[in-house]
């Protein structure tokens, strides 16, 4: 463990890193909200690229002291991996979806079963990467408490919302009502989009705060 001067070069590195990384996450969330409100919006993979860039900036840092994982190999690797994984995940979905599902109904049925298994696998991998990343951020000691656990709180809210949504979708009264069904799904999607955006805003707020004194961070060699 090493002590760093929170008012000097290290503090500037953290501010630059958290401001840029937070801005990228917030921009990604705003674009995803635009897509959700206007399906077909011409954004392509830009939201995913912004998110991946944001996680990369947070993980590597503009200077070692800016890294929210203190550049520990595990934390840095899983945080970068999470951003890249969430970027390529929709592409994998697209590869499984045939261009004309009505062309061969037998093949379509088998493909749907395969896609269901793959989607579950992809979600499990995403969850594992996310859990590892938020725990490493919390334990690194770089982000001041209690905000070092904010990513874990956001992940818990997203997971709880998805589980609640799955439970509600199992209620026949809700599934028989399209309006209620759409409202439940839309709310879960909204929370999932806003969670990383809120973390981005929080990072920018922390970056804008004046910090004095010293703080302890862990070197990547520990």
pLDDT at 55: 95
User: If phi over 0 gives left and psi between -120 and 50 gives alpha, with beta otherwise, what is residue 61?
Assistant: left
Are the C-beta atoms of 35 and 47 separated by less than 8 Å? yes
pLDDT at 100: 54
For residue 215, pLDDT over 60 is answered with no
pLDDT at 81: 94
For residue 194, pLDDT over 90 is answered with yes
For residue 106, pLDDT over 70 is answered with no
* Average model confidence (pLDDT) across the chain: 81
pLDDT at 107: 60
C-alpha 155/C-alpha 59 separation (Å) is 17
Q: What percent of the chain has pLDDT over 70?
A: 78
Angle subtended at Cα 13 by Cα 31 and Cα 203, rounded to the nearest 5 degrees: 35
pLDDT tens, position by position, 14-68:
899 999 999 999 999 999 998 888 777 777 889 999 999 999 999 998 887 889 9
Q: What is the pTM of this model?
A: 0.80
C-alpha 210/C-alpha 193 separation (Å) is 29
For residue 184, pLDDT over 80 is answered with no
Confidence of residue 110 (pLDDT cuts 50, 70, 90): low
pLDDT at 153: 95
For residue 133, pLDDT over 70 is answered with yes
Q: What is the DSSP string of the chain?
A: -EEEETTSHHHHHHHHHHHHHHHHHHHHHHHHHHHHHSTT-TTTTHHHHHHHHHHHHHHH-SSGGG-TTTT-HHHHHHHHHHHHHHHHHHHHHHHHS-S-TTS-HHHHHHHHHHHHHHHHHHHHHHHHHHHHHHHHHHHH--SPTTGGGHHHHHHHHHHHHHHHHHHHHT-HHHHT-HHHHHHHHHHHHHHHHHHHHHHHHHHHHHHHS---SEEEE--TT-
70 or 2, greater pLDDT: 70
Residue 77 corresponds to which tokens in the numbers above?
A: 């690797």
pLDDT at 214: 40
85 or 172, greater pLDDT: 85
């Amino acid at each position: 463990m090493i002590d760093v001067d929170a008012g000097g070069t290290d503090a500037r590195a953290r501010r630059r890193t958290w401001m840029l990384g937070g801005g990228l996450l917030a921009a990604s969330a705003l674009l995803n909200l635009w897509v959700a409100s206007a399906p077909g919006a011409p954004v392509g993979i830009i939201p995913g690229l912004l998110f991946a860039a944001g996680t990369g900036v947070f993980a590597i840092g503009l200077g070692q002291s800016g890294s929210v994982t203190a550049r520990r190999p595990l934390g840095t690797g899983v945080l970068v991996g999470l951003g890249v994984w969430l970027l390529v995940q929709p592409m994998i979905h697209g590869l499984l979806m045939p261009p004309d599902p009505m062309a061969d109904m037998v093949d379509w049925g088998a493909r749907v079963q395969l896609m269901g298994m793959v989607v579950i696998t992809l979600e499990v991998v995403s969850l594992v990467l996310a859990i590892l990343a938020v725990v490493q951020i919390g334990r690194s000691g770089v982000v001041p408490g209690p905000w070092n656990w904010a990513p874990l709180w956001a992940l818990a809210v997203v997971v709880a919302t998805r589980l609640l949504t799955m439970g509600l979708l199992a209620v026949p009264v809700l599934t028989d009502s399209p309006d209620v069904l759409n409202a439940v799904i839309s709310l879960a999607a909204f929370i999932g989009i806003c969670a990383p955006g809120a973390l981005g805003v929080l990072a920018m707020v922390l970056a804008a705060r004046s910090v004095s004194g010293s703080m302890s961070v862990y070197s990547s060699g520990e």
